[in-house]
Chain A
Amino acid sequence: AQKITQTQPGMFVQEKEAVTLDCTYDTSDPSYGLFWYKQPSSGEMIFLIYQGSYDQQNATEGRYSLNFQKARKSANLVISASQLGDSAMYFCAMREGTGTASKLTFGTGTRLQVTL
């Protein structure tokens, strides 16, 4: 079973509009972290936002917010006021547990294209 599922291979959004990128996850570990990364065509993975499984409030970082619905096991990324520079691949990732060998598991990504 996929641990991280991103069902939108590609999304289009107009400049200045908001967009939601979907992510669902599967884990039985009570302690986990959810991450979103942006990958421009240059290849570098840029950290955007983090949500811990015990966090009571949804994480926000500037124009990025994470809509965390624990019961539904979803962690959608919301980008407000899209900009042309937001065009990139976006990956949702999860780390399970803490301490040793806690790796990141990534989804297959969503390609976001921001249009004028």
Chain B
Amino acid sequence: ETGVTQSPTHLIKTRGQQVTLRCSSQSGHNTVSWYQQALGQGPQFIFQYYREEENGRGNFPPRFSGLQFPNYSSELNVNALELDDSALYLCASRPGLAGLDTQYFGPGTRLTVL
């Protein structure tokens, strides 16, 4: 186990609703990244947080937003849900920004949008 936890494990929402997903990073890790993995695809980078600030973003619209808290846990918020938002959402943490250190992933939250 990596020490990265995510909640909830599964979630069902309807189109147009809003959702919040949560991630607790591994102890000592101050950098958290979020990824979206559609069925049959590799994960796609959404954004990254370092010391409570967003410092990198992938090709996702502004309705995908996030937060990082002083304890380095993080939230992913998605507004105005669309059917294509159905995916596995993965959170990953690593010790810092310097170097090419490894990211450790949580178990993911599986979101279904009906």
Contacts and interface: CB of A to CB of B under 8 A. Distances in A.
Interface stretch (B14-22, B43-51, B72-80): B43-51
Interface residues of B, number: 29
B43 A106 contact: yes
Contacts of B57: 101
B100 A101 contact: no
A64 to B, nearest CB: 14
B33 A44 contact: no
A100 B43 contact: no
A100 B104 contact: no
B56 A103 contact: yes
Contact of A99 (B58, B98, B105): B98
B88 A108 contact: no
The size bracket of the interface on A is 20 to 34
Interface string B28-64: 0000010100000111110010100001111000000
Nearest to A103: B45
Nearest to B105: A45
Nearest to A111: B40
Contact of A45 (B41, B43, B44): B43
B111 to A, nearest CB: 12
Interface of A: 4, 31-33, 35, 37, 42-47, 50, 52, 91, 93, 95, 98-109
Question: Lowest 6 CB-CB distances: which A-B pairs, in order?
Answer: A101-B56, A106-B42, A33-B100, A45-B105, A103-B45, A43-B108
